[in-house]
């Protein structure tokens, strides 16, 4: 049987070896010429990732609304980002992304019914308020990219059609 003093000495020696090991490799890591560069790149990547999460959905670049694959990819990204933000408690940003998804959705009525069942009533109310703004913004962006012609409603969503000149008069 091991005595208390033998156990204490063994634990002390092992602890000292572990601390020495940590100090040795920390010193080796810090003396690496690429350490600071790698650290800066890592911090920059983390900042960009955080910035992307907090970037308003109104700054999101719209896909080509005539390309179904691009619209579908955009739709899925917006839904996923919206769900992640809602799970983190960032309701306003999450609602913005979900409203982008609804605006480009081929069947917005069914999506809204699903969201109404899954979202809390307050969040769904925020979404309903945001959808009008988003659909008008998307219609305006798609009309400005078509050279001032009338805006086509994106993928089955009933947005008011207007020319750029008429929309400028409304503001």
CA–CA distance, 108 with 115 (Å, rounded to integer): 10
Q: Among 111, 92, 113, which Cα is nearest to 102's?
A: 111
Please calculate the CA angle 147-153-156 and round it to the nearest 5 degrees. 145
Rounded Cα distance between 81 and 93, Å, is: 9
Using CA of residue 147, residue 148, residue 150, residue 156, what is the dihedral sign? Answer: positive
- Model pLDDT for residues 84-131, shown as the tens digit of each residue: 888 888 888 888 888 888 888 888 888 888 888 988 888 888 888 888
Question: Confidence band (pLDDT; 50, 70, 90) for 10?
Answer: very high
Nearest one of 132, 134, 170, 168 to 148, comparing CA atoms: 168
Q: What is the pLDDT of residue 23?
A: 94
Q: How large is the average pLDDT for residues 137-160? A: 52
Name all domains of the chain by residue range, CATH numbers in brackets: 48-170 (1.20.960.10)
Rounded Cα distance between 129 and 144, Å, is 24
Per-residue model confidence as pLDDT tens digits over 38-76 = 888 999 988 887 776 655 555 677 777 788 888 889 889
Please report the pLDDT score of residue 17 as a whole number: 96
Q: How far is CA 163 from CA 139, 140, 159, in A?
A: 10, 8, 12
């Amino acid at each position: 049987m091991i005595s208390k003093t033998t156990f204490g000495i063994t634990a002390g020696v092992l602890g000292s070896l572990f601390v020495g090991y940590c100090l040795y490799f920390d010193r080796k890591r810090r003396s690496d010429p690429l350490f600071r560069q790698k650290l800066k790149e890592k911090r920059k990547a983390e900042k960009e990732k955080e910035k992307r999460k907090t970037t308003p959905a109104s700054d999101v670049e719209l896909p080509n609304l005539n390309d179904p694959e691009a619209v579908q990819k955009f739709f899925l990204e917006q839904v996923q980002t919206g769900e992640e933000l809602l799970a983190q408690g960032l309701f306003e940003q999450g609602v913005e992304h979900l409203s982008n998804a609804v605006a480009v959705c081929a069947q917005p009525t069914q999506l809204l019914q699903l969201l109404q069942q899954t979202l809390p009533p307050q969040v769904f109310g925020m979404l309903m308020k945001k959808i009008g703004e988003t659909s008008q913004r998307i219609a305006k962006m798609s009309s400005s990219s078509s050279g001032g012609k009338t805006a086509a409603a994106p993928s089955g969503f009933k947005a008011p059609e207007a020319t750029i000149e008429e929309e400028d008069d409304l503001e």
